[in-house]
């Protein structure tokens, strides 16, 4: 008998399938609750849970869309779990949709600064989103007691995400 181990698809948020930590279903735009993960078969919808694995980073975003507004939360597990950048249950991305592109402002879980990114909706089989950082958040200033800081986030600079 031969045993074959097949890894489960990108559970970058570290939660096992069927975890009982269900997000609050009463979240409203502007609230700080984790967006409700849901798939949408609506053509052109950004809503849903999206994942990618690129450059040793498992990247997951959960997006909600209300009209032309999109908001979301992220988790990026870098260097095989040695580094984690997560919004830790709060909204970390907010943007507006123009055509097939969402222009996002995002915040790392590691820095109070914000950056800018685009999410391009690419129809097809499978539907994908192309995440691309357009403007990095500034690095925190070097402080005498903290030492030099090399990075202020672990999100990938570019990634093609598939809907979970």
pTM for the whole thing? 0.69
Residues 105 and 93 sit within 8 Å (Cβ to Cβ): yes
Under DSSP, the state recorded for 40 is -
pLDDT digits 0-9 by tens, 108-117: 888 888 999 9
Helices (H) and strands (E) in the chain, counts: 0, 9
3-state class of 22 per DSSP?
A: coil
pLDDT digits 0-9 by tens, 45-96: 899 999 999 888 899 999 999 999 999 999 999 887 888 989 887 899 999 9
What integer best gives the mean pLDDT of the chain? Answer: 75
For residue 118, pLDDT over 70 is answered with yes
Position 148 scores a pLDDT of: 52
Beta strands in the chain (DSSP E): 48-54, 57-66, 69-78, 83-86, 93-98, 101-107, 114-122, 128-135, 158-163
3-state class of 79 per DSSP?
A: helix
């Amino acid at each position: 008998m031969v045993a074959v181990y097949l890894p489960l698809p990108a559970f970058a948020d570290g939660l096992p399938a069927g975890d009982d930590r269900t997000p609050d279903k009463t979240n409203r735009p502007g609230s700080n609750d984790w967006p409700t993960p849901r798939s949408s078969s609506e053509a052109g919808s950004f809503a849903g849970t999206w994942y990618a694995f690129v450059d040793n980073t498992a990247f997951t975003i959960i997006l909600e869309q209300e009209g032309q507004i999109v908001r979301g939360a992220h988790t990026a597990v870098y260097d095989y779990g040695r580094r984690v950048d997560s919004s830790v249950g709060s909204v970390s991305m907010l943007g507006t949709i123009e055509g097939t592109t969402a222009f996002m402002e995002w915040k790392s879980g590691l820095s109070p600064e914000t950056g800018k990114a685009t999410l391009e909706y690419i129809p097809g089989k499978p539907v994908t989103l192309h995440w691309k950082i357009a403007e990095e958040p500034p690095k925190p200033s070097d402080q005498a007691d903290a030492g030099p800081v090399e990075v202020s986030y672990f999100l990938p600079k570019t990634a093609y995400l598939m809907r979970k």
